[in-house]
Amino acid sequence: MDNIKTIEKIAYKQPAVIFNEFDPLKDEILRIIDNDGHVINEELFPELDDETVIKAYKSMLFARVADDMAVSFQRQGRMYTYPPINGQEAIQIAAGLIIREDDWLVPAFREMAIMLAKGVTLREIFLYYMGNEQGSNFSKAKHVLPICVPIASQLIHATGIGYSINYQKKDEVVFPYVGDGGTSEGDFSEALNFAGVWKVPVIFTIQNNQYAISFPVSGQTRSVNLAVKAVAFGLPGIKVDGNDFFAMYVAYKQAFDHARAGKGPVLIEALTYRKGAHTTSDDPSKYRTKEEEMEWDKTDPLQRLKKYIVRKGIWKEDEEKLIEEYKLEVEKQFTEAENFTPYPLEDVFQFMYVDTPDVLNIQKEDYKLYQNWKESRK
Amino acid sequence: MDNIKTIEKIAYKQPAVIFNEFDPLKDEILRIIDNDGHVINEELFPELDDETVIKAYKSMLFARVADDMAVSFQRQGRMYTYPPINGQEAIQIAAGLIIREDDWLVPAFREMAIMLAKGVTLREIFLYYMGNEQGSNFSKAKHVLPICVPIASQLIHATGIGYSINYQKKDEVVFPYVGDGGTSEGDFSEALNFAGVWKVPVIFTIQNNQYAISFPVSGQTRSVNLAVKAVAFGLPGIKVDGNDFFAMYVAYKQAFDHARAGKGPVLIEALTYRKGAHTTSDDPSKYRTKEEEMEWDKTDPLQRLKKYIVRKGIWKEDEEKLIEEYKLEVEKQFTEAENFTPYPLEDVFQFMYVDTPDVLNIQKEDYKLYQNWKESRK
Amino acid sequence: MSVMTIVQAINNALDIMLEEDKSVVVYGEDSGREGGVFRVTEGLQKKYGVERVFDSPLAESAIVGTGLGMALSGLRPVVELQFDGFTYPAFNQIISNVSRMHNRSRGMYKVPMVIRFPYGGGINALEHHSESPEALYAHIPGLKVVIPSSPHDAKGLLISCIESDDPVIYMEPKRIYRAIKQEVSDDKFSIPLGKAKVLTEGSDVTVVAFGAMIRECQKAMVMAKEAGISVELIDLRTIYPIDKETIAESIKKTGRIVIVAEAPESFSVGAELMAIANEEAFLYLEAPPKRVMGFDTIVPLAKGEPMYMITPDRIFYEIERTVKY
Amino acid sequence: MSVMTIVQAINNALDIMLEEDKSVVVYGEDSGREGGVFRVTEGLQKKYGVERVFDSPLAESAIVGTGLGMALSGLRPVVELQFDGFTYPAFNQIISNVSRMHNRSRGMYKVPMVIRFPYGGGINALEHHSESPEALYAHIPGLKVVIPSSPHDAKGLLISCIESDDPVIYMEPKRIYRAIKQEVSDDKFSIPLGKAKVLTEGSDVTVVAFGAMIRECQKAMVMAKEAGISVELIDLRTIYPIDKETIAESIKKTGRIVIVAEAPESFSVGAELMAIANEEAFLYLEAPPKRVMGFDTIVPLAKGEPMYMITPDRIFYEIERTVKY
Ligand SMILES: Cc1ncc(C[n+]2csc(CCOP(=O)(O)OP(=O)(O)O)c2C)c(N)n1
Ligand SMILES: Cc1ncc(C[n+]2csc(CCOP(=O)(O)OP(=O)(O)O)c2C)c(N)n1
Ligand SMILES: [Mg+2]
Ligand SMILES: [Mg+2]
């Protein structure tokens, strides 16, 4: 009766080893170090030299410093609404080690750390949150899409980019991000379904930080977890401890090899916690307890990795000094953003179209007339 | 780490017995009689008295006759585009035995047989396909929504009705329908997800008739089947031989008991075949082979049930005569629809709002002025 | 009487209707426990329970579509969409189902349902948080579209919307959510849908606006007064059905009309108002009707937004030009 | 030169562009093997292979959103949505992403993408198969909206759309898909976007229309001629950006304008055209601009549709009233 199934089906756990070992249906989770930085899964421990691990830790630290400062810049009224990434650094820095220059990053809006890793400058990120779209015109980073606010819609773009890659016979891989809340949007399902059908090289990451603004993930769905949603689209899915840098690295590494080998898309649920507010306009005390926050504090990705490297005896730096350095760097980039040229009237109109219709020019000229009039009254 | 999972999760195969036994992940299928009408699963054979089985067969036969005649009425130019249900009768008539007067039917557009079972008159159905919306104002049937053309959008309405039922502490059950193609729409996923979270009494049926217009189900998704999509939303899901009346009956019976007992929604994938064209404007020979059609012909739900009842010796009727009777009945209802009062100008305006804005009345009066002018020129 | 902001007035209207009618339910993203990102529904879940005021999963099509299902089966849902720019995932449900179920079923079903969301710019927000899509919804047959401009109107209009047996899009001017305080009756009262309100009588020019632009127009009128121009200010209140009569009456008096709204100018409510001016008062027009509206662009981010947003002096400038025509 | 219908002309334009530019891909529901429900893409999959012309799963948001992803990464997708009424599930992708990616990224990314779909009534169709949503799309900043009225235009405009680096909504008048046959050049040629075309010159009244209504207007003009009325007929061709100049020029000549379109009248392209008449030619207007448009209702099913659809004699009736004003 199923004789017309002409397209081969990916069984939900056929591919890369790792996706076989941790069954989302049984709610299994990939974890490599525990909260104290002890290795609990030697077998899967990745081959990473110490230098790389240290570099990763420093990138996480830099992201944390930049994030904290962003929040305080916002409080000082020097920036507008900003969504902190505090607590989600391991996921993004692990991905940052894997993603290559010509791979594609398709962010939601809480991906500052991987954007930095991909070559977006802090200056650009700050400029954006200062309310200037020029911050999304990346000067150095290649193949990074601007922040996408309409939840989950960006996942579909990633699938489309994946089609292009296959079509153009390139070997690029696409890294789209979404939150736990975003898995409820229809676009999430459509993106994964098309990705499966087209067998595109796309690694979908759900940053499950437990909340969609005030709403806990427990209310988003009755599925046993979010990784299991891959089953509905014939994708391999895996649940990973997102605050465990090594686990994230291993998952990304395998997913990347899988995708580049033409084996199609995968779904990674990265379990983490949004330590900060949803955005600077949000007050988490309205909807969650201090106890819960403290419970999750124990899993903090930076502390965990730090404990590992300290115990291994490979940490030689003075962290305080490092933080001071980072602060100066962040400050510098922030100042550059603050000193960016004022927003000209042209920028309101110029980028709506490649081939700008007359009506926009007329509106602009009309506005100038009004400005002149205003000037003349002074 | 999962300590904030406050809402209990439905494991995908927790509930009603039947959903345990046939695991969609293993692509298992519930089937009770084979193509020759032999019982192949005695254990699950439902307790149905002969009379009911005969009645069901006759309802299927009636639906087939009505459907065939609808197609030929359309060919004669007496009706507009019509989507035949030929081949999908077992699913709908099995549901018809279960669904009560105050349960809700939420059709897509290929549910003529269950609409009849629910009390919609053939006259109304014909009237609708003659191009008169009055055919969707059901005179007798209660709790039936009009045909819904935007694919999968109706599933969400069903979930909302389910919420009302729980809220009002009623014990009604909702029966929404969708096709295989419809499972790719975002609304399908959103409907199932909300249904799971709200634990509503909704039985989602996918009539997997192998095609979405010209596109085979094999292209819609890489999931192993469609029932398995339930996993993504924490619902029980089952794949059933939709051309096996008894299997469909058993699945619906258990789903119904499950839903009414407040255990929440279920998903049924009913495997069937659209024997006819997509609609009367479609030509299947463009995209499928005669061989394939003949292969599926062997599974025809009417023939199968007929073989069973004949073998069991409970078939006493003269089928030819029965068909003649049915034809007369269909003819009668069709004639009534054809003799329906002409479509008045009022009907264009009257139902857009309960509280009609002036602008509609003005447009109507303006149109009358034009009509008068036109009259006057004759 | 209590002094209320628009946020409080809406909350109060919801409170009254939840209290009075058990079939009213209120939900949306973050609308329950937190009381919505603007705290419009604050306190209601506590008072009426999680079955009547609740958080929904994050999916606008489902929020609206389930609301429709509820409306068909005995409830009167008031659903909240979080921002103007996030109403579009629900567009198909709104245009293809919500607005049509009554017509599709030839009156067998009614759709007593309200879809609320904050709209408009001027709050230095991220993209998609500053939009004015009223023209899109006003063009859809079967919907009513309502926009209040004051706490009093916000309450009275919302009560009418909830009591309406037709589906209503209720757009809340977020920029003035808390900017205007006003004495509002604590009792239940309603304001009829489909009727505009003459806020100030005048003789030289008619200014038509709605929502957050009313306040800007009022500021411009101070300047106009100084310049000796008598402005008649009309608050549309309901975008669809639009109150042609009140507008036409006013133009017949003043001979001039200036339309102020935030949305992109082309194919806008401004265009419809100009059409009405022509259809209903052609012979009275002494100057071309004028739209003072947003550019045909996305509302810029904070640094560019001041150029996009319509200011009182720009309104005055256009009023003066129209009067001098 | 070959005699072509609109269906054939579109197919021919796609064929030429697929041939010329490997970055062009064509897909949508049933667009591949079957060649689309209207057979517009027939034969193209055979010629260019399943990677370039293909069937997609059934999900409009994904069809449009993947198209955007392709456009950002080097392709020029031409996606097909099956009917006007099924474009709405893709509305969020269109309005929130497709139309804005160029602006959002400050020019870093371009979106060379075409979204095609058949539109309009008059074919006795089911609900959602007879709609004219051009006003919705024309109000969205960042899009262009194009509607041809003849085989020649269908080809030349579509080629321009595919070559455009801006996203374009290309709406096909399904009612006349096969009704008009015309000699069309077999070569590649293009027609500029944003320019209307004066189809017939005249002096008494300007009639502006587009798509399937052009043919109805031409029939009405036969009646007008008999009645001694000289009509100037303008085919908009592009709805956005709308060609204000050509319209204004014509009104300045005739002093009168009648607008003919199928969509519901309120908040429509008709309203925008009336606004333009006022803004650009106020002093020349000798009669109120007139909209001859659909009612503010859903297009009725077949039995009611003839009352909704605009007929040549209704157009003539309104032309005559406007001229006699
Ligand atoms: C389509 C859409 N609806 C609503 C919003 C408003 N909104 C912004 S963030 C957010 C919650 C997102 O939660 P999640 O997906 O878990 O991501 P997180 O913020 O936790 O990173 C919501 C509802 C939006 N941006 N887009
Ligand atoms: C949102 C939407 N997109 C497209 C269509 C056009 N259309 C009508 S039926 C159909 C195929 C449906 O296939 P399936 O869901 O398998 O149902 P079946 O026709 O086989 O019963 C399509 C694409 C539609 N009705 N609604
Ligand atoms: Mg989250
Ligand atoms: Mg099907």
Tell me how far apart the alpha carbons of residues C62 and C67 are, in angstroms, rounded to a whole number.
8
pLDDT at B313 over 90: yes
What does the block give as tokens for C40? 């419009």
> Nearest C-alpha to atom 19 of ligand 2 is from which residue?
B212
- Closest residue, chain C, to A77 (C-alpha): C124
Residues A334 and A232 in one domain: yes
Active site residues of B: 274, 278, 287
| Residues of chain B contacting A284 with CB distance shorter than 8 Å | none
> Which positions in chain B touch A11 (Cβ < 8 Å)?
224
Residue identified by tokens 């991906």 is: A111
Residues B215 and B260 in one domain: yes
pLDDT at B17: 59
Helical (H) or strand (E) element with A50:
helix A50-75
D197-323 shares the fold of D2-184? yes
Cβ atoms of residues B338 and B78 within 8 Å:
yes
> What mean pLDDT is predicted for residues C114-141?
98
Tell me the best of A151, A215, A226 to mutate to test the pocket of ligand 1, counting ligand atoms within 8 Å of each CB and taking the most: A151
| Cβ partners under 8 Å of residue C45, min gap 6 | C32, C33, C35, C52, C53, C54
d(CA B219, CA A196): 10
Contact B345, B369 (CB under 8 A): no
How many angstroms separate the CA atoms of A35 and A53, rounded?
A: 17
Helix and strand counts by DSSP (H, E) for chain D: 12, 14
Q: Distance (Å, rounded) from C-alpha D287 to C-alpha C283?
A: 9
Q: How far apart are CA A25 and CA B224, in angstroms?
A: 15
Q: Tell whether A350 and A328 lie within a shared domain.
A: no
D235 within ligand 2 shell (Cβ under 6 A) = no
pLDDT in tens, B81-133: 999 999 999 999 999 999 999 999 999 999 999 999 999 999 999 999 999 99
Same domain, A140 and A171: yes
Whether A157 is catalytic is: no
Residue B278 Cβ < 6 Å to ligand 2? yes
Domain that holds residue B372: 345-378
Mean pLDDT for the stretch of residues C282-311 = 98
Asked if residue D261 lies in contact with residue D230, where contact means CB atoms within 8 angstroms, the answer is no
Provide the pLDDT for residue A378: 82
CA distances for D73 relative to A144, A164, A166, A253, D144, angstroms: 11, 6, 11, 24, 21
* B150 ligand 2 Cβ < 6 A: yes
- CA-based diameter of chain A, in Å? 82
**Could you tell me if residue B99 is inside a domain?**
yes
Which of 3.20.20.70, 3.10.20.600, 3.90.1200.10, 3.40.50.920 would CATH assign to domain D197-323? 3.40.50.920
| pLDDT over 70 (residue B5) | no
A22 & A150 share domain? yes
Cβ C233 vs Cβ C200: under 8 Å: yes
Instruction: Convert the pLDDT of each residue in D126-161 to its tens digit.
Output: 999 999 999 999 999 999 999 999 999 999 999 999
- Mean pLDDT in residue range C83-111: 98
Whether A1 maps to a domain, the answer reads no
Rounded distance, CA C63 to CA C31, Å?
12
D36 three-class SS: coil
Do residues B297 and B355 both lie within one domain? no
- Cβ of C66 and B357 within 8 Å? no
The overall average pLDDT reported for chain A is: 94
Residue spans of the domains in chain C: they are: 2-184, 197-323
Residue with tokens 């969707």: B136
3-state secondary structure of B202: strand
> Given CB atoms, is D317 within the 8 Å cutoff of chain B?
yes
Gap from CA of A257 to ligand 4 centroid (Å): 36
Question: Are A162 and A205 contained in the same domain?
Answer: yes
Mean predicted lDDT score pLDDT of chain B: 94
- Give the number of the ligand closest to the Cα of residue A188: 1
Q: Are D157 and D14 in contact (CB under 8 A)?
A: no
CATH for the D2-184 domain, from 3.40.50.720, 3.40.50.970, 3.65.10.10, 3.10.20.30: 3.40.50.970
Confidence of residue A6 (pLDDT cuts 50, 70, 90): very low
Question: A245-260 vs A50-75: helix axis angle to the nearest 10?
Answer: 110
Q: Which one, of C174, A140, D126, C121, lies nearest residue B81 by Cα?
A: D126
ipTM: 0.98
CATH number of the domain encompassing residue B282:
3.40.50.970
Do B27 and B172 fall within a single domain?
Answer: yes
Chains contacting chain A through 3 or more C-beta pairs under 8 A:
B, C, D
**Residue whose entry in the numeric block shows the structure tokens 């209707």:** C17
pLDDT at res. A21: 83
**Secondary structure of A217-247 as H, E, C letters:** HHHCCCCCCCHHHHHHHCCCEEEEECCCHHH
Residue A6 lies in a domain: no
pLDDT at B11 over 70: no
For chain C, percent of residues with pLDDT exceeding 90:
100
Q: Is residue B3 part of a domain?
A: no
Are D141 and C297 in contact, with CB atoms under 8 Å apart?
yes
Distance CA C31, CA C50 (A): 11
Would you say A85 and A93 are in contact if contact means Cβ atoms under 8 Å apart?
no
User: Are B319 and B352 in the same domain?
Assistant: no
Whether the model clears a pTM of 0.95, i.e. scores above it, the answer is yes
Low pLDDT (below 70) residues in chain D = none
Find out whether A12 and B225 touch, Cβ atoms under 8 Å. no
Which residues fall inside 5 Å of ion ligand 4, going by CB?
B 179-180, 209, 211-212
* Predicted pLDDT of residue A39: 97
Which of A345, A131, D109, D310 lies closest to B366, judged by CA? D310
Q: Is D15 exposed, middle or buried (0-12, 13-18, 19+ CB in 10 A)?
A: middle
Residues B113 and B250 in one domain: yes
Alpha carbon A209 to chain centroid, angstroms? 12
So what's the pLDDT on residue B20?
72
* C53-87 confidence digits (pLDDT tens): 999 999 999 999 999 999 999 999 999 999 999 99
- CB A269, CB A206: distance < 8 Å: yes
Alpha-carbon distance of A166 to A205, in angstroms, equals: 20
Neighbours of C245 (CB within 10 A): 13
CA distance A60 to A91: 10
| Count of structural domains, chain B | 2
CA distances for B376 relative to B365, B369, D227, D228, angstroms: 16, 10, 16, 20
**A4 within some domain:** no
pLDDT average, residue stretch B304-320: 97
Within its chain, how far is the Cα of B355 from the centroid? 33
3-state SS track over C86-151: HCHHHHHHHHHHHCCHHHHCCCCCCCCCEEEEEECCCCCCCCCCCCCCHHHHHCCCCCEEECCCCH
- The crossing angle, in degrees rounded to 10, of helices B245-260 and B50-75 is 110
Nearest CA in chain D to B347: D304
Interface test with C, best of D266, D282, D285 (most C CBs within 10 A): D266
pLDDT at residue A8 is higher than 60: no
> In 3D, which of A189, B240, B146, A266 has the Cα closest to residue D58?
A189
Average pLDDT value for residue range B29-36: 97
Q: Is residue B143 part of a domain?
A: yes
**One domain for residues B210 and B69:** yes
- A230 and A284 housed in the same domain: yes
Q: Which residues of A touch D97 (CB under 8 A)?
A: 148, 150, 153-154, 157
